[in-house]
Amino acid sequence: MPQKKPYKFSVLASGSKGNCSVHDPAGDGNCFLIDSGISDKKIDAGLSGVNRSIGQVHSVLITHGHGDHLPKNKAGRYQYGKLGHRGNGPRYQPVEDGTTEIEFTGCYCKINIVPMVHDIPCDGFVIESNDGIKIVHITDTAEVPDVSLKYMEKPHAIVIEANWDELLLNRNLQEGSTPGCVLERSVDTHLSNSAMADVVEQLMWDGLEVVVLIHLSSTNNSPVLARQAAEEVLERGGFLAGKGDGQCRVIVSGQDKPTELIILRGNHGQ
């Protein structure tokens, strides 16, 4: 069987101060961004850290219209307009069941756009390379609706929000460091660690290579707690790397430091 082209991606920044990731579905440098809510300088630095440059970015997919996801560049350096978020006009239209599919010419993949549950329209993405390597991208959502979940089966990577931790948020409430309205907004619009773990549990399988946790709250979550929640559920299923035959890693993204360039080979599972 011919080798699959590896799918490469990196989360350049993630959190309430700005989100951006770069995806290279054929591993050949031809990229698109998901969200670009950080400065041009940070995008350039993040891209060069993974041996990519802005000249190789041909599109930007935007999950939704909040400032931490929307482009910050004023000069229009990138070719926006090819794609956008649903709340911003009819650039892509959902079909009847709430999803739509787009073909990326020259970018070696197709993308299903699926609805999330946020306080404004927000999209999740299911990206599949022409070699069948599949990534799901889930952020800024109170839950993952069934209509979206059914498009996400058998992913090789799950990039998913782990915004708040139930115990930590409750402790912060009791101590008065977090006001009650934050609890309400968190519950209504963002995924908790345990809700994230539920989604991972529903989607995990032999072929899953990595779970990348994004959009962690700096006050109501911690990288350790988020990682624990994801690893526990993967370990229970027998999928966690380093435990038995497991091969799935967990990577926690951060606000200020890009992740490594993650390489998916799609060789496991069927």
The minimum distance between CB 103 and Zn ion, in angstroms, equals: 27
Question: In this complex, which beta carbon is closest to Zn ion, that of residue 66 or of residue 86?
Answer: 66
Residue 8 has φ and ψ, to the nearest 5°, of -115, 140
Of 21, 63, 29, the residue nearest 46 (C-alpha): 21
**Residues engaged in binding Zn ion (CB under 5 A):** 66, 68, 140
Question: In this complex, which beta carbon is closest to Zn ion, that of residue 68 or of residue 209?
Answer: 68
CB 267 within 8 A of CB 255: no
CB 237 within 8 A of CB 208: no
Question: In this complex, which beta carbon is closest to Zn ion, that of residue 66 or of residue 85?
Answer: 66
The minimum distance between CB 141 and Zn ion, in angstroms, equals: 9
- Unique residue bearing structure tokens 């409750």: 170
Question: In this complex, which beta carbon is closest to Zn ion, that of residue 52 or of residue 69?
Answer: 69
Contacts made by residues 80-84, CB under 8 angstroms, sequence distance 24+: 82/58, 83/32, 83/59
Q: How many CB atoms lie within 10 A of CB 218?
A: 11
The minimum distance between CB 6 and Zn ion, in angstroms, equals: 29
The minimum distance between CB 241 and Zn ion, in angstroms, equals: 29
